[in-house]
Amino acid sequence: MKSDTIAAIATGMSASGIGIVRISGSGAFSVIDEIYRDKEGRAVKLSEGKSHTVHYGFIYDGDQRLDEALVLIMKGPHSYTAEDTVEINCHGGILVVKKILEAVIRRGARTAEPGEFTKRAFLNGRMDLAQAEAVADIIHSTNEYALRSSVSQLGGSVSKKIGGLRSGILYEIAFIESALDDPEHISLDGYGERLLKALDSFMGELDGLIRSADDGRVMREGIKTVILGKPNAGKSSLMNVLLGEERAIVTEIAGTTRDTLEEHIYLQGISLNVVDTAGIRDTQDVVEKIGVERALKAASEGDLIIYVVDGSRPLDDSDREIMEFIRGRRSILLLNKTDLDLVVDKGTLEELSGNRVIPVSAKEEQGIEELEREIKSMFYHGDLTFNDQVYITNVRHKEALEHAFSSLKMVKESIESGMPEDFYSIDLMDAYEQLGFILGEAVDDDLVNEIFSRFCMGK
């Protein structure tokens, strides 16, 4: 496919060891031929060189030598974009890479849009849309699990799973169609029963994928963890212990924290977005009141609530209110201040809340490891294994899966209510198409542009 030639700085715009200017398109080699010279200063045509070779020399803009460089040449279709591609590795100064990019642009390339290299890879059939999206996810991964899952998606794990489901569905469509065309030779007797079985298996797989999206989202964005409790319970102290720094203000004055404060932390490879909140109590103070409302709002939107109880003071109405609030929500109870004489008993608290209670001392940093283990086991059942399990980390994919699931459900209903066979194939086809969207089949240009616009420059 003939396309215009694009170029961009592929490395971060900060002073660094190496900077890379990337060029892709049918004119990539003619551009480099005009600006590259070997170490003796002779113009050399890299376009005539072998693909996948590296050349040491200099980049010139006219007669001005811009920098020393290593130039990689890759001939299409054996490149990331499947087009002729050149990568200029120069010294990583902001000005020098900019000047090289300008020289490239002056020789006829144009500046690439964000994500345009990967978009070309997709449009040229080098990867499907799910794989292309994985590229952006890898770049934005902030923790081990998210990264591993994105790499596995790039390797085709999601695509393979979706592809398998699609061919199963397509088989059924083809069977129905040929039976309807040729009823003398292909009988549909008892087919409804057989199709029901197949549907159960398809829907089971879809359901598993849809449910994996919860873990997937948590993996990608981190577990939103909200610390809740009465004033002075030690919420901010806990936040600081988890963070490993004195981030939140801690004082013996009840009502110290007045607004929510969010920080990102890593625990053994998982990421948490921890929110410290204002202590819950009935108050006339306007500012504190707003703080309490925000605390409850954050808690209702969170994935996990850590309820901190001050074990050195008797439980009161505010504690009961919080226990009522967390009922039915994913939560962990901490009995704090175990370094003091406790007046609240662990067993009583467990009975009242119906929840497991972990004794801790935020001050002495006791019990924190157990809290970490508990969080991990709540969100990831055992160790995440990426060999067999596929995680859905993309909202778009999840929506398509849900659509496909409901289309298959309609097929089931049609069978159960004795509808004619051609009804089945309409909904089967719909499910097939929905799954195709995940791979990028028949998606419209606007969606493709939207997806790639979220990429960074030079990718």
Interface residues with ligand GTP (CB under 6 A) are 229, 231-237, 250-252, 254-257, 278-279, 336-337, 339-340, 361-363
Round to whole Å and give the CA distance between 222 and 206.
24
Look at residue 334 and give the partner it binds from ligand GTP, Mg ion, none, a contact being a CB closer than 5 to 8 Å depending on partner kind.
none
Q: Between 234 and 440, whose beta carbon lies closer to Mg ion?
A: 234
Provide the minimum distance between the beta carbon of 337 and Mg ion in the complex, in angstroms, as a whole number. Answer: 14
Provide the minimum distance between the beta carbon of 276 and ligand GTP in the complex, in angstroms, as a whole number. Answer: 7
Q: What does DSSP say about strands 223-229 and 16-24: parallel, antiparallel, or unpaired?
A: unpaired
- Under the binding rule (CB under 5 A), the answer on residue 257 touching Mg ion is yes
Of 187-195, 231-239, 347-355, 412-420, which segment contacts Mg ion by CB under 5 A? Answer: 231-239
Buried b / exposed e across 427-436, counting CB within 10 Å, b at 16+?
A: bbebbbbbbb
Q: Between 159 and 361, whose beta carbon lies closer to ligand GTP?
A: 361
Q: Between 54 and 249, whose beta carbon lies closer to ligand GTP?
A: 249
Look at residue 57 and give the partner it binds from Mg ion, ligand GTP, none, a contact being a CB closer than 5 to 8 Å depending on partner kind.
none
Of 14-22, 133-141, 203-211, 250-258, which segment contacts Mg ion by CB under 5 A? Answer: 250-258
In sequence order, the 6+-apart residues with CB closer than 8 A to the CB of 387 are none
Provide the minimum distance between the beta carbon of 322 and ligand GTP in the complex, in angstroms, as a whole number. Answer: 12
- Under the binding rule (CB under 5 A), the answer on residue 236 touching Mg ion is yes
Look at residue 237 and give the partner it binds from ligand GTP, Mg ion, none, a contact being a CB closer than 5 to 8 Å depending on partner kind.
ligand GTP
- CA–centroid distance for 420 within its chain: 42
Provide the minimum distance between the beta carbon of 285 and Mg ion in the complex, in angstroms, as a whole number. Answer: 15
Q: Between 253 and 286, whose beta carbon lies closer to Mg ion?
A: 253
Round to whole Å and give the CA distance between 131 and 387.
17
Provide the minimum distance between the beta carbon of 253 and ligand GTP in the complex, in angstroms, as a whole number. Answer: 7
Look at residue 298 and give the partner it binds from ligand GTP, Mg ion, none, a contact being a CB closer than 5 to 8 Å depending on partner kind.
none
Other beta carbons within 10 Å of 155: 13
Provide the minimum distance between the beta carbon of 257 and ligand GTP in the complex, in angstroms, as a whole number. Answer: 3
Provide the minimum distance between the beta carbon of 52 and ligand GTP in the complex, in angstroms, as a whole number. Answer: 59
In sequence order, the 6+-apart residues with CB closer than 8 A to the CB of 289 are 283
Q: Between 245 and 450, whose beta carbon lies closer to Mg ion?
A: 245
Look at residue 161 and give the partner it binds from Mg ion, ligand GTP, none, a contact being a CB closer than 5 to 8 Å depending on partner kind.
none
Provide the minimum distance between the beta carbon of 324 and ligand GTP in the complex, in angstroms, as a whole number. Answer: 19
Look at residue 201 and give the partner it binds from ligand GTP, Mg ion, none, a contact being a CB closer than 5 to 8 Å depending on partner kind.
none
Round to whole Å and give the CA distance between 127 and 121.
6
Alpha helix (H) residue ranges in 74-224? 94-106, 116-123, 129-140, 144-154, 157-181, 191-221
The DSSP secondary structure of 301-336, one letter per residue, reads HSSEEEEEEETTS---HHHHHHHHHHTTS-EEEEEE
Other beta carbons within 10 Å of 298: 20
Provide the minimum distance between the beta carbon of 381 and ligand GTP in the complex, in angstroms, as a whole number. Answer: 31
Contact 9, 21 (CB under 8 A): yes
Provide the minimum distance between the beta carbon of 276 and Mg ion in the complex, in angstroms, as a whole number. Answer: 6
Q: Between 13 and 340, whose beta carbon lies closer to ligand GTP?
A: 340
Q: Between 169 and 292, whose beta carbon lies closer to ligand GTP?
A: 292
Angle CA(346)–CA(348)–CA(353) in degrees, nearest 5? Answer: 95
The DSSP secondary structure of 12-44, one letter per residue, reads -SSSEEEEEEEEESTTHHHHHHHHEE-TTS-B-
Look at residue 263 and give the partner it binds from Mg ion, ligand GTP, none, a contact being a CB closer than 5 to 8 Å depending on partner kind.
none
Round to whole Å and give the CA distance between 421 and 178.
11
The residue nearest ligand GTP at its CB is: 279
Round to whole Å and give the CA distance between 406 and 426.
13
Q: Between 150 and 361, whose beta carbon lies closer to ligand GTP?
A: 361
Q: Between 201 and 251, whose beta carbon lies closer to ligand GTP?
A: 251
Q: Between 25 and 229, whose beta carbon lies closer to ligand GTP?
A: 229
SS (H, E, C) 390-416: CCCCCHHHHHHHHHHHHHHHHHHHHHH
Look at residue 242 and give the partner it binds from Mg ion, ligand GTP, none, a contact being a CB closer than 5 to 8 Å depending on partner kind.
none
Provide the minimum distance between the beta carbon of 357 and ligand GTP in the complex, in angstroms, as a whole number. Answer: 15
Angle CA(387)–CA(402)–CA(197) in degrees, nearest 5? Answer: 75
Q: Between 365 and 402, whose beta carbon lies closer to ligand GTP?
A: 365
Round to whole Å and give the CA distance between 432 and 167.
8
Residues in contact with Mg ion by CB under 5 A are 235-236, 256-257
